[in-house]
Structure 1
C-alpha cells in the first residue's frame, strides 16, 4: 500500500497521476475502486478511467460502467470496423484528448489508461494469460499531456489480474454482443514506483527510440507485477508471492 499512500499525498498536493495498466475485464474500473476503498477511498471514488466505447454500448458491459468516471475513446483495433464511422470516431477521440488536457490543467487528477487498446487475452498455444503489448503512441500521448499540463505529474505502472471475473472472447470481435461467462474469483492490483522518462531514455538517439524505450519500460514493470499477482492468486501462494519489487497485502488489512 506504500505506493497508494504516496499517490494520495501527491494528489492532495495538486499533482496529477496517471496509471498505465493492462486491462482484463470491463469490470476493471469497479475492481480498482473496490480493492482500494478500505484504505484509499479517495482514489477509488475519484479515479477517471479511459475506456473503450463498448463499455457504454454493449448491454452486458453497461452495468460495470454505472457510477464510474469514464472518458471514452475508440480503440485503434475497432477504428476501421465501419469505414463510414471512421471520421466520427477520430473526432470523438480528439474531444476526449482535449477533455483530459483540460482536467490535467486543473491538477489533482488521477487517470487510469490501458495503452494496449483492449483487453488481455491468453496465449493461444499455452492458454496462459499475460498483459497485452502496449501501444507506444498511447503511452507517449499520456506522458506529453501530463508534461504540458502545467501541474506536477507522475506516471505509475499498474498491473491488474481480474480476467476470471468475465474473460473476453479468445479473439477480438467486431460485433457487439460477445458471448460471455461471469465468474466468482480472486482479483489483484499492484502499483510499482513511477518510472522517469528522462532516466529510461538517457541513451536514446531520437524521439521515436525514446518513445519505444519508455513504453517498454512501463510494460516490463506491468508484466513483472502481473506474474507476482498470478503466483499469489492462481497458484495459491498469497502474500508469500511477494518479491523485492512487488510487496503484496490484503486490501482489508
Structure 2
C-alpha cells in the first residue's frame, strides 16, 4: 500500500509535455528503471493523482513474461495495457521447442510495437535493464540496474522505421522510479516464478526527465548510455531532495 502523504512526482512540466506530444499524434517512450511488479500501478495511480488520468489509462507497459504467469505479478497487471517479452536471460531456458516458442513470442511483440508506433499517439513504458533493480554491495542501497544497450537500440530502430514516409515521430524521455519498498525484489537477480516475497506500506516517487534528443546525444551508438546516465541522475536527485524528508 502506498503512503500517500509521502508519495512524490517530480518533473510535472515534462508530464505536461508528454500530453502535448500525444495530442499531436506522436509517440513517447519512457525509458525507466524498474523496481517492483507494482510499477505499472504506481505510475498510473500517481499520474491520476496529479490530474493526468488519460496518460495513465493510455500507457502501454512493455514487461517481462512473468507479469502473466507469476501469482504476485498478475494482480498488479490488471487493468493495464501490456506487451510481454522474454528477456535475454530466460531465452535459453527450457527445451528447444520452448526456446523457439519464446523467440516467436518476442517477434510477435516487436511486430505489435512497430504497428503501434506507426499508428502514432501512443505512450510506452520500457525498462531496458530487462529486470528489477538490486542493492549495491558497496552501500546496500537500491540503484537503477544497468541498461541493456541492445534493448534501447531496438526502440530507436522501431522509432526510426515508424517515422519513414511522414510517419509519426517518437520522443524518448527518462523516468526514475523509487518503488522498491512496496514489494522488495529477492536478492537473486534470476528468481523463479513463485519466489518468496513480502509487501509493506511504503513511500514511492517518480521523477520525469525532459526529452533527450537522439541525434544530439550521439545517435543509436551513444544514446543508450546517455539516457541510462540521465535516469541515474534523476534517481540520485530524488534521493538528495526528497528522501531525507520521509
- Identify whether the pair has TM-score above 0.5, normalized to the shorter chain: yes
Residue 45 to residue 129, structure 1, CA distance change in 2 (3 Å):
same
Cα distance in 1, alignment partners of residues 150 and 81 from structure 2: 23
1:236 aligned partner: 245
Cα distance in 2, alignment partners of residues 116 and 7 from structure 1: 23
2:245 is paired with a residue whose SS is: coil
2:134 is paired with a residue whose SS is: coil
2:232 aligned partner: 223
Say whether residues 1:177 and 2:194 are aligned partners: yes
Cα distance in 2, alignment partners of residues 152 and 116 from structure 1: 24
2:38 aligned partner: 27
1:245 aligned partner: none
RMSD: 1.3
Say whether residues 1:213 and 2:230 are aligned partners: no
Q: When the two structures are aligned, how many residues end up with a matched partner?
A: 229
- Pick from 56, 60, 66: which aligns with 1:48? 60
Cα offset, 1:174, TM superposition:
4.5
Say whether residues 1:13 and 2:24 are aligned partners: yes
- Pick from 175, 200, 204: which aligns with 1:187? 204
Say whether residues 1:104 and 2:117 are aligned partners: yes
1:65 aligned partner: 77
Does the aligned pair in 1 maintain the 2:134–2:189 contact within 8 Å?
Answer: no
Higher relative contact order (CA 8 A, sep 6+): 2
- Pick from 101, 117, 128: which aligns with 1:88? 101
Cα distance in 1, alignment partners of residues 126 and 179 from structure 2: 16
Listed as ranges, the gaps of 5+ residues in structure 1 are 202-209, 238-253
Cα distance in 2, alignment partners of residues 27 and 58 from structure 1: 13
Cα distance in 2, alignment partners of residues 148 and 211 from structure 1: 13
Q: Deviations over 1:195-231 (max 9, x none)?
A: 1111111xxxxxxxx5342111101110011112223
- Pick from 126, 143, 146: which aligns with 1:133? 146
Does the aligned pair in 1 maintain the 2:28–2:122 contact within 8 Å?
Answer: yes
TM-score by length of 2: 0.89
Q: Deviations over 1:9-38 (max 9, x none)?
A: 110110111011100000000000011013
